Structure 1
Amino acid sequence: MTITLYTKPAGCFGCTKTKQLLTEAGVPFQEVDITTDTAAFEYVTKELGYSQAPVVVAHGKDGTENRWSGLDKDRIDLVIAIEKSGK
């Protein structure tokens, strides 16, 4: 699974907590700062339609995509479980 975490580093509790939960679980992810990366900002706002950070995009090995916006502990736990299972 590959996980991309689109964040606003300054003052975003959800961003900080999502990174913390993934890091503590040993789940690798790529962080992209949407305040400095214009293309990433356009992608999450225009293409995906999100207006709240963080935006998490997880691509499974089977080609599935799971994505959401904001701090969502249930979805984070699901991604962690999938990653730990090796699927």
Structure 2
Amino acid sequence: MISVTVYSTGDGCPRCVRTCACLRLAGIPFTIIDLSAYANAPAREFVTDDLGYTAAPVVVVDQDQQHHWSGFRPDLIQQLSGQIEASS
């Protein structure tokens, strides 16, 4: 099973909201980590320092340092959905 984590800045981020909606529509289960929460400094450091992103959302697949992206990317969500279907 593929695991997907969405690093989000919350409901005020339209790209974050659209990404989560698209993942739900595609039937891809995911976990949301709220980067705006004070307690999530390690998550913010991971997204900015380790992955190099400065904009949300950041989507990480299987905690793979090579399989991640930033922004609303329905094309990559569709690709991921196809990968999940192929592995089922």
Normalised to the residue count of structure 1, the TM-score between the two structures is 0.87
Which residue identity does 2:22 align to in structure 1? L
Partner residue, 1:40: 43
Given that 2:11 and 2:17 are in contact with CA atoms closer than 8 Å, whether structure 1 keeps it comes out as no
**What is the CA–CA distance in structure 1 between the aligned matches of 2:59 and 2:82, rounded to whole Å?**
15
Partner residue, 1:83: 84
SS in 1 for 2:15: helix
Partner residue, 2:13: 12
Q: Which has the higher helix share?
A: 2
Deviation readout 1:34-83 (Å, 9 max, x if unpaired): 111111011000111000100000129xx784100011111111111112
SS in 1 for 2:67: strand
Q: What number of residue pairs does the alignment pair up?
A: 85
SS in 2 for 1:32: strand
> RMSD value over aligned CA atoms?
1.9
Gaps of 5+ in 1: none
Given that 1:59 and 1:65 are in contact with CA atoms closer than 8 Å, whether structure 2 keeps it comes out as no
Which residue identity does 1:47 align to in structure 2? D
Partner residue, 1:55: 58
Gaps of 5+ in 2: none
Structure 1 residue ranges (4+ consecutive) displaced by more than 3 angstroms after TM superposition: none
* Identity value in percent: 34
